[in-house]
Structures are given as C-alpha cells and as structure tokens.
C-alpha cells in the first residue's frame, strides 16, 4: 500500500495505481479526453496534467504511477491555464460542425468546452452586424439573466412572454424593422439598468441560447471536483418533480430520492431540503401575520418568498414595502441557518470560530433566486444558485444515469425534515394554504379546520380568494400581471388580510429556471405531483416539524423573537434611493469588498466615518480603508452585519451596527454620465453616532 495526498486529501492505494486513480479515490475530478479505462494510456491529449511536489513539470495523471508520499495538486491556476490553451489548440483543428454531428451532446470535447467555457478559436460569422459602436449584443450585467443577441433567431417569444401575453413587464420588445429587427430593451439599456424583475420567463421560452440563466453550474462543479470545501446543497420542492423531465421521465414524476442520490454522486457533503426552511418560513410569517392583525398595522400582509415579486415592488411600488412580510424566503433562511447557526458550529472548530464557512448551493426552479442571493443584508448566505436546468447539465456532465438511480435517497438531518405544507410552496397558492394551516393553530383555532383549501389552488392565471375562519379573507395572485391588475384598484386594502403573489404563472412550478416544455398541460401535471406529496405526508402542518421545534428550543426561542429576526428576517428599500445605496455600501463593508464599495462613490467622494479613521477622501482611499484597515471579516456564526433599524422605512437611514449600537447616515448623491447613460453615486457620506 502507498499513501499520498490529492488536494490535501489523504488516500491509500495499491502499488501500480496511477495519479488518476489517486484523484478518483480522493473524490477529486480530473478532466480527461483521450483516456479510456479499458485501453492503454497514451497521454496524448495532456488535458489530465497534474502537479506533483518536487517534480518541475506537470505529469499526465492517466499514466503516471502514484508513489508513496506524493503531494498532488489538480486545480492550480497554471494547470487550468494550460488546459485552456491545450483545448484551444485542439479546437483550432476541429470542425465547427457540432450541430449536425452524430455525437452532439455526448462528445467529450464538446462537454469539456461547455463545462469550462473555453474559448473557441475559429472564425465566426456575426448573425447581426452592429450598426454603431453603441450596439451591444452581449449583456451579462444582470445577476440572473444573460443575453447574446448574436444567437437570436428573432422568433419574438421573449417579447411576447415579457409583454402583454403573460408578464406585462415590457422590459424586452422589438426594435428596428426589416433585416435589423431584433428584441431590445428600452433605449438598449443593459438588463441591470431596466425594470427587469429577473423572473426568467424569457429564458424559459427562448428556443436558442440568446437568453439564458446566468450560469453558475461551472463554478459549482469545479468547486465540488476540488473537494477543498465542505459543501451543502438545498433542494426546492418544485425541482424534485421537474428534474424528471430533463431525463425523459414522465412529467409529474416525483424524483426526490433519485435527485438526492445524484447530488451525492456529484460530490455534495450534505444534501438538505429547502422545505425545512419553508416550514420555518411559515412559522415566522404566520406569527408575523397574527402580530400585525393584533396591532392593526400594515395589513394586508403580502408574502415575500418570491424574489421576482419583491423586485417588482421595490422597482415599481415602494409604497407597498411596509406591507411585505419581513420573513426571508426559504432559500435565504436555509442559507443563513447552514452558515450561521448550530449546524455550522458542529462542523468543527474553524467553523465555530469564524475562520471558514461551508460552501452553500441551492437548486431552484427560479432565475430570480440568483438575484435574491445577492441582496444587501443576506448576500453570501447562499454562495451559488442553480436552476433545475443547470443541475441537469451538471448531472449529464458527470455521466450520471439519472433515470437508473434508486429512489431510496434520504435528506440529511437536521436541516432536511419537512412537512406537506412546505412541499406545496412550489405551487401557486401553496404558501398561503400552508400559512393558513399554521396561523389558525397559532391563534388557537379549531384543530378540525380543513387542511385542503381548493379555492386557493389551480394554475390558472388570475386572483383566487378564500375566507378562513378566525383569520379572514385571503387572496392569491397567480402571476405578476394578476397582481398588477389587482393593485390598480384600492379595494384590496380593506378586502384581504393576507395576499400571496407569485411572479410566474403556476408559481415555482412555472419558474423561469424549470425545464423547457412544449406540453400545454405541464403545469397541471407538476401541480398534481406537488399536492400528491402533500396528501401522503405524515405531517401536513409546519408546526408539526420536530426539527423546526428543536431549532426554536435550542437557538431561536420563539417565532418573531429577536434571535429569529436576526437570522430569518430581512429589509427592503426603493431601488436607486439613498437608502438603497446605503444598504449596498454597508453590505460591501460587511463583506470587506472595497472595490465594490468604491464603485458606489464618485471618484472624489467623501466618507466621514465619525470614528478614529476620520474623514476619507476619494473612492480609491475608501477602497483601501475597507481592504486594509478594517479588521478581517469573520465567517459562519461569527459573521455579523449592519442592518437598517426600520425594515421598510423609505427615508429612514438609521442603522444598527454589528456591535448593537445605533448610528444615522446622511448621503449627498451625484450623477455620473457615461456611454449615453447616467448613474447615481454617492458624493458624500456622513455618519453620526446616536
């Protein structure tokens, strides 16, 4: 036997094993192209080169014998640069004929190029010629959606779904005429500078690659391959059903166990259920509703778990912000718990002491969840968000036969327990139905109250209502267009006590990150499966979740307690407001991202810190202060943020510091002009200690 390490992981091997065998034994993925396990290794492609300590040159892992004491690295910058250059040389001699190739989709070279996003070095034919330097066809500014108009076939589906036919947002529409006709944003602005709510319906209907979700799967796959970090993944309720369609299974097939097993094969250390946090969301949101009812304040309460809806309110109706529940979405709750609660401390001393944190990934049916993961006040709790489609690409990239996997996979504890109420979060009306089940209990209502509220179910677009004994009349807006129509009249203020809004018709089941389908009944089939899981669940009310009760008993105290608010609640602001810029700046400070903070300032901006640092003049000096003079940030349970004292005050710039003291800020704003557009930045920031 020989003992060696691969990326810091110790492995035992038999004599005669190769470095590629060692990498596999360590759970580390090394890309190969010319290697086949049943044939002699020739190391012709050189893609599998690795570095061995003491050897001046990289060695081909496929045929280099492992030696006792070897220290092997597989993912250094030099190796990745060589693989990229090697692949570019291969592509220079390879025909650009993938679309008609018989092995399209299973070609290993094609898979490597896609997985690593290596550049293709052959001449390109531009589909649409730019008429001026101002014409931009590639737009990666949005955290959720990427655009590449060079791939557009001008079918018009994106303009239809964003316009009157479905979402009624009109962010994308057609410009020009004849041969120059193409889908554009207003004034050709980047998506990040429009009123796009990141719902991703345009990516769902685009038949080509002109509109796609911002891809995170490459980074996630490479992080899992290296096995340097403890990795955690959470899975949304809609994903475990829709993922089946990506692998040829019947629509509506529940693949929870198969999905768990696939995630384990991909290399995730912990596989958790987002539904655990959905039950937690209901405990918080239900308690919040009752507290507002008792105080007769900010009613009706709007649900806040749909980030597309939250984006719409912040962009278009900031006057509604006090009505939004401050409860985080299940995704963000689960991320916060995974990184900053007892689970993180249980991973070891370095995690408990704030020296490191787990790598947290979520699998969601929604593109707006990518946007949500970057919101000030909660950014960093979820490192990367994968859509259902992206996860399918990862599974295919690793050659996992999803349909052949067993259905015996089980979520890990303690963040994997859930109830049927959490499962129906995936369908339009499910959040409200789940909240009704628990709110009635928390209020001391009759235990015989029905569990199934058919009036709140269904995938038809529009508004659904029901009157709940002891609670009042509630409403469900199925689609952002339905919400817009309801809000045009003021009757909603007095008619309802609570309102659920999902930006996508059908709810998460119809989310922008779900598999593309031409089946007109696909939402009904997915919904049937969702409610079927609920109907057969052992527990169907969120308060029956034993692990949620333990979390309250051990760490949070009670729903809506100060501890719960610190971990599980959030804050809002009108976009492009002073409060918005302040929240973004403080988020940069908390994360010690000086470069991002400097971009929020005018180059000659001033920051009066009201501290020993004094007055800082100039964006570069502000960046330097954050980078080099502030104490290094802590991670995990030790990580603390600034927070706004008011959850939704439009003009309230009072802040609670990580130490618990209070201060107030004053901002002078200025405009920067460039490229035909203007940008609001901070000219002067003054901090006053209270």
Q: Tell me the pLDDT band of 174, cut-offs 50, 70 and 90.
A: confident
Q: Where are the alpha helices (DSSP H) in 346-397?
A: 349-352, 368-372, 388-397
- Residue 108: exposure state from Cβ atoms within 10 A (0-12, 13-18, ≥19): middle
Domain termination site, one of 42, 75, 108? 75
Q: Where are the alpha helices (DSSP H) in 66-197?
A: 77-92, 108-116, 157-162
User: Above 70 in pLDDT, residue 131?
Assistant: no
Q: Where are the alpha helices (DSSP H) in 460-538?
A: 480-487, 492-495, 522-535
Residue 413 lies in a domain: no
- Tens digit of each residue's pLDDT (9 = 90 or more) over 237-247: 999 999 999 99
Whether residues 147 and 204 share a domain: the answer is: yes
Domain termination site, one of 568, 601, 623? 568
Whether residues 369 and 509 share a domain: the answer is: yes
Angstrom distance (rounded) from CA 362 to CA 213: 14
Residue 449 lies in a domain: yes
Whether residues 343 and 472 share a domain: the answer is: yes
Contact of 235 with 274, CB cutoff 8 Å: yes
Q: How far, in Å, are 301, 443, 564 from residue 293 at the CA level?
A: 9, 11, 20
User: Above 60 in pLDDT, residue 515?
Assistant: yes
Within 536-634, strands assigned E span 601-608, 615-617
Whether residues 105 and 220 share a domain: the answer is: no
In sequence order, the 6+-apart residues with CB closer than 8 A to the CB of 533 are: 237, 254, 420, 423
DSSP 217: H
Tell me the two tokens of residue 11.
Answer: 């492995």
Q: Tell me the pLDDT band of 135, cut-offs 50, 70 and 90.
A: very low
Angstrom distance (rounded) from CA 640 to CA 586: 12
> In this predicted structure, which of 88-97, 348-357, 525-534, 601-610 has the lowest mean pLDDT?
88-97
Angstrom distance (rounded) from CA 323 to CA 302: 6
Residue 411 lies in a domain: no
Angstrom distance (rounded) from CA 366 to CA 511: 5
Sequence length of the chain is: 690
Q: Tell me the pLDDT band of 121, cut-offs 50, 70 and 90.
A: low
| Closest CA relative to residue 644, chosen from 581, 579, 575, 594 | 579
Whether residues 640 and 662 share a domain: the answer is: yes
Tell me the two tokens of residue 295.
Answer: 């105080």
> In this predicted structure, which of 172-181, 255-264, 308-317, 428-437 has the lowest mean pLDDT?
172-181
Whether residues 533 and 595 share a domain: the answer is: no
Angstrom distance (rounded) from CA 314 to CA 329: 16
What pLDDT, on a 0 to 100 scale, did the predictor assign at position 594?
95
Number of domain units in the chain: 4
Average pLDDT over all residues of the chain: 91
Q: Tell me the pLDDT band of 126, cut-offs 50, 70 and 90.
A: very low
In sequence order, the 6+-apart residues with CB closer than 8 A to the CB of 578 are: 651, 653, 667, 669
3-state secondary structure 654-668: EEECCCCCEEEEEEE
Residue 86 lies in a domain: no
Q: How far, in Å, are 217, 297, 685 from residue 590 at the CA level?
A: 26, 32, 17
- Tens digit of each residue's pLDDT (9 = 90 or more) over 428-450: 999 999 998 988 888 776 667 78
In sequence order, the 6+-apart residues with CB closer than 8 A to the CB of 201 are: 161, 162, 166, 167, 504, 512
- φ, ψ of residue 442 in degrees (nearest 5): -60, -30
Contact of 551 with 280, CB cutoff 8 Å: yes
- CATH number of the CATH domain containing 506: 3.40.950.10
As a whole-number percent, the residues of the chain with pLDDT over 90 amount to 75
Q: How far, in Å, are 108, 122, 150, 218, 642 from residue 115 at the CA level?
A: 10, 19, 21, 6, 38
Whether residues 394 and 345 share a domain: the answer is: yes
> Which residue's entry shows tokens 């964003």?
162
> Which residue's entry shows tokens 């707006």?
368
Whether residues 292 and 199 share a domain: the answer is: no
Angstrom distance (rounded) from CA 388 to CA 377: 26
Angstrom distance (rounded) from CA 516 to CA 215: 16
What pLDDT, on a 0 to 100 scale, did the predictor assign at position 361?
98
- CATH number of the CATH domain containing 170: 3.30.70.20
Angstrom distance (rounded) from CA 594 to CA 601: 11
What pLDDT, on a 0 to 100 scale, did the predictor assign at position 675?
57
Residue 409 lies in a domain: no
Residue 374 lies in a domain: yes
Angstrom distance (rounded) from CA 190 to CA 161: 19
Question: Which structural domain, as residue segments, surrounds residue 149?
Answer: 93-213
Angstrom distance (rounded) from CA 49 to CA 20: 10
Whether residues 493 and 642 share a domain: the answer is: no
- Tens digit of each residue's pLDDT (9 = 90 or more) over 408-417: 999 998 898 9
- CATH number of the CATH domain containing 57: 3.10.20.740
Beta bridge partners of 273: 235
* Mean pLDDT to the nearest integer, 563-588: 95
Whether residues 134 and 15 share a domain: the answer is: no
What pLDDT, on a 0 to 100 scale, did the predictor assign at position 179?
58
Residue 83 lies in a domain: no
| Closest CA relative to residue 361, chosen from 340, 383, 339, 381 | 383
Contact of 168 with 117, CB cutoff 8 Å: no
Whether residues 465 and 373 share a domain: the answer is: yes
DSSP structure string for 258-288: HHHHHHHHHT-SEEEEHHHHHHHHHHHHHHH
Angstrom distance (rounded) from CA 370 to CA 386: 8
* Mean pLDDT to the nearest integer, 224-235: 96
Q: Is 345 left (phi over 0), alpha (psi -120 to 50) or beta?
A: alpha
- CATH number of the CATH domain containing 663: 3.10.450.50
Angstrom distance (rounded) from CA 244 to CA 262: 12
* Mean pLDDT to the nearest integer, 523-549: 93
User: Above 90 in pLDDT, residue 265?
Assistant: yes
Q: How many helices (H) and strands (E) does the chain have?
A: 25, 24
Whether residues 62 and 136 share a domain: the answer is: no
Tell me the two tokens of residue 39.
Answer: 């044939």
Residue 495 lies in a domain: yes
What pLDDT, on a 0 to 100 scale, did the predictor assign at position 124?
42
User: Above 50 in pLDDT, residue 132?
Assistant: no
As a whole-number percent, the residues of the chain with pLDDT over 70 amount to 96
Q: In what order do the strands lie in the sheet with 643-644?
A: 615-617, 601-608, 677-689, 662-674, 654-656, 643-644
Q: Tell me the pLDDT band of 495, cut-offs 50, 70 and 90.
A: very high
- Residue 675: exposure state from Cβ atoms within 10 A (0-12, 13-18, ≥19): exposed
Q: Tell me the pLDDT band of 125, cut-offs 50, 70 and 90.
A: very low
Q: Tell me the pLDDT band of 186, cut-offs 50, 70 and 90.
A: confident
């Amino acid at each position: 036997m020989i003992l060696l390490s691969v990326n810091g992981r110790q492995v035992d091997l038999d004599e005669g094993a190769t470095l590629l065998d060692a990498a596999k034994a360590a759970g580390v993925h090394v890309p190969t192209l010319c290697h086949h396990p049943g044939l002699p290794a020739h190391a012709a492609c050189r893609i599998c080169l690795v570095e061995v300590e003491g050897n001046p040159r990289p060695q081909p892992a496929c045929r280099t014998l492992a030696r006792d004491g070897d220290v092997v690295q597989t993912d250094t910058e030099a190796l990745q640069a060589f693989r990229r250059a090697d692949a570019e040389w291969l592509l220079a001699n390879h025909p650009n004929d993938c679309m008609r190739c018989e092995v399209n989709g299973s070609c290993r070279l094609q898979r490597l190029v896609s997985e690593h996003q290596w550049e293709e070095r052959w001449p390109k034919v531009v589909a649409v010629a730019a008429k001026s330097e101002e014409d931009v066809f590639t737009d990666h500014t949005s955290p959720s959606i990427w655009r590449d108009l060079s791939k557009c076939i001008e079918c018009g589906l994106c303009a239809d779904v964003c316009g009157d036919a479905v979402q009624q947002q009109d962010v994308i529409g057609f410009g020009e005429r004849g041969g120059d006709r193409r889908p554009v944003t207003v004034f050709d602005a980047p998506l990040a500078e429009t009123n796009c709510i990141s719902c991703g319906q345009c990516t769902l209907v685009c038949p080509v690659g002109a509109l796609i979700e911002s891809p995170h799967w490459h980074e996630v796959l490479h992080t899992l391959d290296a096995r340097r970090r403890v990795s955690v993944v959470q899975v949304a309720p809609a994903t475990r059903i829709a993922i089946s369609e990506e692998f040829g299974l019947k629509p509506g097939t529940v693949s929870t166990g198969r999905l768990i097993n696939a995630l384990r094969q991909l290399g995730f250390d912990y596989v958790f259920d987002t539904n655990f946090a959905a039950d937690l969301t209901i405990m918080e949101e239900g308690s919040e509703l009752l507290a507002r009812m008792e105080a007769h304040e900010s009613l009706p309460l709007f649900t806040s778990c749909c980030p597309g809806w939250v984006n719409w309110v912040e962009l278009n109706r900031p006057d509604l912000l006090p009505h939004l529940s401050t409860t985080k979405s299940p995704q963000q709750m689960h991320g916060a718990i995974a990184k900053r609660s007892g689970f993180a401390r249980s991973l070891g001393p370095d995690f408990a002491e704030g020296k490191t944190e787990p790598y947290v990934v979520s699998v969601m049916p929604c593109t707006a969840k990518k946007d949500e993961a970057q919101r000030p006040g909660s950014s960093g709790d979820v490192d990367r968000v994968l859509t259902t489609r992206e996860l399918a690409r990862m599974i295919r990239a690793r050659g996992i036969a999803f349909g052949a996997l067993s259905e015996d996979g089980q979520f890990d504890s303690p963040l994997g327990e859930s109830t049927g109420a959490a499962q129906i979060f995936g369908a339009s009306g499910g959040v409200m139905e789940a909240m009704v089940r628990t709110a009635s209990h928390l209020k001391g209502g009759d235990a015989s109250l029905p569990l199934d509220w058919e009036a709140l179910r269904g995938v038809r677009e529009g508004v659904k209502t029901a009157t709940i004994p002891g609670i009042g009349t509630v409403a469900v807006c199925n689609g952002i267009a339905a919400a817009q129509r309801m809000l045009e009249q003021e009757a909603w203020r007095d008619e309802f006590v609570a309102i659920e809004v999902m930006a996508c018709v059908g709810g998460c089941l119809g989310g922008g990150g779900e598999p593309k389908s031409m089946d007109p009944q696909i939402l009904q089939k997915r919904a049937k499966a969702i409610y079927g899981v609920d109907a057969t669940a052992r527990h169907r009310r969120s308060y029956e979740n034993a692990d949620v009760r333990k979390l309250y008993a051990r760490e949070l105290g009670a729903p809506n307690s100060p501890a719960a608010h610190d971990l599980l609640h959030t804050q809002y602001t009108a976009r492009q407001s002073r409060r918005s810029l302040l929240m973004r700046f403080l988020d940069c400070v908390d994360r010690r991202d000086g470069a991002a903070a400097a971009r929020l300032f005018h180059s000659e901006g001033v920051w009066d810190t009201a501290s020993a640092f004094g007055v800082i003049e100039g964006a570069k000096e502000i960046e330097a202060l954050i980078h080099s003079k502030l104490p290094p940030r802590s991670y995990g349970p030790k990580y603390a943020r600034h927070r706004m004292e008011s959850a939704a005050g439009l003009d309230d710039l009072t802040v609670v510091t990580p130490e618990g003291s209070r201060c107030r800020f004053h901002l002078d704003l200025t405009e920067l002009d460039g490229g035909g557009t203007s940008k609001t930045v901070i000219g002067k920031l003054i901090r006053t200690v209270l």
